[in-house]
Structure 1
Amino acid sequence: MSVIKNVVLAGATGNLGPAILEQLVKGGFHVTVFTRKSSSNEYPPSVTITPVDYDSVESLTAALQGQDAVVSTLGSAGFSKQLNLIEAAVKANVKRFIPSEFGSDTSNPKNAGLPVFADKITVQKALVKEAANGNISYTYIYTGPFFDWGLKVGFVLNVSEKSIALYDGGERNFSTTTLGSVGKAVVGVLKKPDETKNRKVYVQDAAPTLKQLKAVAEKVTGAAWQGKEVSVETDVLAPALAELGKENPDPSKFVFPLLITSIWGDGYGSHFQKLDNELLGLKEFTEADIEAVVAAATK
């Protein structure tokens, strides 16, 4: 495959988009950001801004002319829009598509069966079909939960209450990656297109247990933290599935519980066994690095 130079970033806002944009610019790519026509966000001067209609394959195809790769960080509300983006990328002869995965390993059958990942699985099937026909190539990037973001928003630690949920005892290791490292992984994939063609890659900054993070939080804050024992199957998954069984289920009662299940549930493959860190130029965190991330989140 020829060198990738021109890269579209679809979804440059939100939690992950800005981190990936920063690394793409640092990586020397010519970056075009797709925005909705109503967007008023500002971007670095070196970035090309192109308003698109995600509901129009024609609009997307025109905007993708001359592009080598698409990186999608569209959020859950826009996952299904990626089908139009894929169709347009094929029509515009784009070489590589990186879909909005960046999280739990959806190739794990238990994760693939969780309703929260249904749109991701649909997108994967579309890419596999197009790749099999030689129309485009793809890479799925699995990162585990975003380490710094998860700490900041209380997904991993509850800073205000100085508490942490110890799912199933909190002794399972889980792969986790900071936003900045996710961006570096994207750059690594685009700079090694042949080695990453039509496959999934796994990266992590660290693979702690929740009990280890509790100890780190206590060390960096100098205070005792409460560990709350929580059963994933009984306290998290079962209520989420019960909510989904209702006529009008409340997303606030099943989305995060299903994500929690995919990360800390038994058998969901959240501790990656084979990493692509070296291939993509990422080093795993030292204990001091982990402490620094936790310290920044618990200030």
Structure 2
Amino acid sequence: MSGKIVNVALAGATGNLGPAVLEQLVAAGFQVTVLTRSGGTAHSFPASVRVSQVDYNSLDSLVAALRGQDAVVSTLPPSPFTTQEVLVEAASRAGVKRFIPSEFGSNTVVPKTAALPAYAEKTAVQKALREKAAGDGGMTYTLVLNGPFLDWGIKVGFVLGLKDRHVKLYDGGERVFSTTTLATVGKAVAAVLSKPDETRNRPVYVQDTAITLKKLYEMGKKATPGEVWTEEVVDTDKLVAEAWEVLDFDKDPSQTDYVMKFIAAAIWGDGYGAHFDKTNNELLGIKELTDDEVQAIVNRYA
């Protein structure tokens, strides 16, 4: 692609991942514009950051905000009130060169993963981006795939139940999966935009470590000496079947009844590509964590 990426618009700067991405974009020297929802809660950002209020459901509002931007990074969570597809269309019309959608998790490039309803919005956005990249507008894209967030997942008990001293061992907990901290995901995003040609129209894979739940469990016990833990073995095939049953029989299902079951299966089940055999760490300047460094993260939340 022609031209260096300088101006970057960030959608979703105040969620779980957004602040880490914003910090790394600023540190890397990009001129960042944060998109905030019109009428939403006011937030504080670094002095160098420009803030632009938008209506995420208005194409005109988004196009106006994105004019002059070289790239758009979306860390927006799935929401019935926000569609990334509108953001993709607006970016294309505004002449944006690169779009990084809100992937940042499971390996949705693998067909078995992409087929899960929990990832329907992500796969729809991927389709829209491929169409834009194949057209005459010149917009390109990068999918950043990093597995579950290691530090956040331990903090909230999704990856390891430190608070409750309880561990879920999916399919016995022996399957290796890739996982990455929020800060490293932010570094990967900044690196992608610094290497636009090498990361054009493709997924990039990044991990801080590839580990098993059983190994994390041992680290959890090491961080809590003398305390009693409980174990729960979860069958991921059964988990997927239960999630599908909710969708088949409940006309208005709660996302908590099925989404997290699909996501857990995609991380710790078989055939979902959750262990990245090859990564792009070297390209992106990411160094994997040592076991001692992973242990330190576990200790932090014990």
**Which of the five TM-score ranges fits, normalised by the shorter chain?**
over 0.9
Distance 2:266 2:26 in 1: 32
Q: Secondary structure at the match of 1:175?
A: strand
Q: CA separation in 2, counterparts of 1:289 and 1:160?
A: 20
The yes-or-no answer on 1:268 pairing with 2:272 is yes
**SS of match in other structure, 2:233:** strand
Q: Is structure 2 residue 20 aligned with structure 1 residue 10?
A: no
Query: What is the identity percentage for the equivalent residue pairs of Structure 1 and Structure 2?
Result: 54
Confirm or deny that 1:250 pairs with 2:254: yes
Contact 1:181 1:205 in 2 (8 A): yes
Give 1:41 shift: 1.3
173-182 or 34-43, which moves further after superposition?
34-43
Q: Corresponding residue for 1:284?
A: 288
Amino acid at match of 1:63: A
TM-superposed deviation, 1:225: 2.8
Q: Residue by residue, what CA displacement relative to the aligned partner does 1:169-207 show, whole Å, maximum 9, x if unpaired? A: 100000000000000000110000000000000000001
Among candidates 165, 170, 174, match of residue 167 of structure 1 = 170
Partner of 2:33: 32
Q: Is the 8 A contact 1:24 1:31 kept in 2?
A: yes
Q: Secondary structure at the match of 2:222?
A: helix
User: Is the 8 Å Cα contact of residues 99 and 140 (structure 2) preserved in structure 1?
Assistant: yes
Runs of 4+, deviation exceeding 3 Å: none
Q: Distance in 2 between matches of 1:261 and 1:271?
A: 13
Q: Distance in 1 between matches of 2:276 and 2:82?
A: 27
Q: Does 1:190 align with 2:188?
A: no
Aligned to 1:58: 60
Q: Deviations over 1:99-139 (max 9, x none)?
A: 00000010111111100101111110000001011420000
Q: In structure 2, what residue type is equivalent to 1:74?
A: L
> Offset of 1:160 from its aligned partner?
2.8
In structure 1, the gaps of 5 or more residues are none
Q: SS state of the match for residue 273, structure 1?
A: coil
Q: How does 1:142-221 map to 2 (within 5 A)?
A: 142-221=145-224
SS at match of 2:163: coil
Whether the 8 Å contact between 2:56 and 2:82 is mirrored in structure 1 is: no
State how far apart, in whole Å, the 1-side matches of 2:117 and 2:152 are: 23
The separation in 2 between residues aligned to 1:79 and 1:280, in whole angstroms, is 33
Q: Distance in 2 between the 1:103 and 1:41 partners?
A: 26
Shift of 1:84: 1.2
- Are the structure 2 counterparts of residues 79 and 128 from structure 1 closer, same or farther at C-alpha, using a change threshold of 3 Å? farther
Q: CA shift at 1:80, angstroms? A: 5.5
**Number of aligned positions between the proteins:** 297
Displacement of 1:55 in angstroms is: 1.0
Post-superposition offset of 1:227 = 2.5
- Unaligned runs of at least 5 residues, structure 2: none
Name the structure 1 match of 2:127. Answer: 125
Q: Is the contact between residue 20 and residue 184 of structure 1 (CA under 8 Å) also seen in structure 2?
A: yes
Q: CA deviation at 1:161?
A: 2.4
Q: Find the aligned partners of 2:47 and 2:154 in 1 and give their Cα distance.
A: 31
- Report the AA paired with residue 137 of structure 1: T
Distance in 2 separating the partners of 1:134 and 1:9: 24
Tell me: CA distance 1:260–1:79, structure 2 relative to 1, closer, same or farther (3 Å): farther
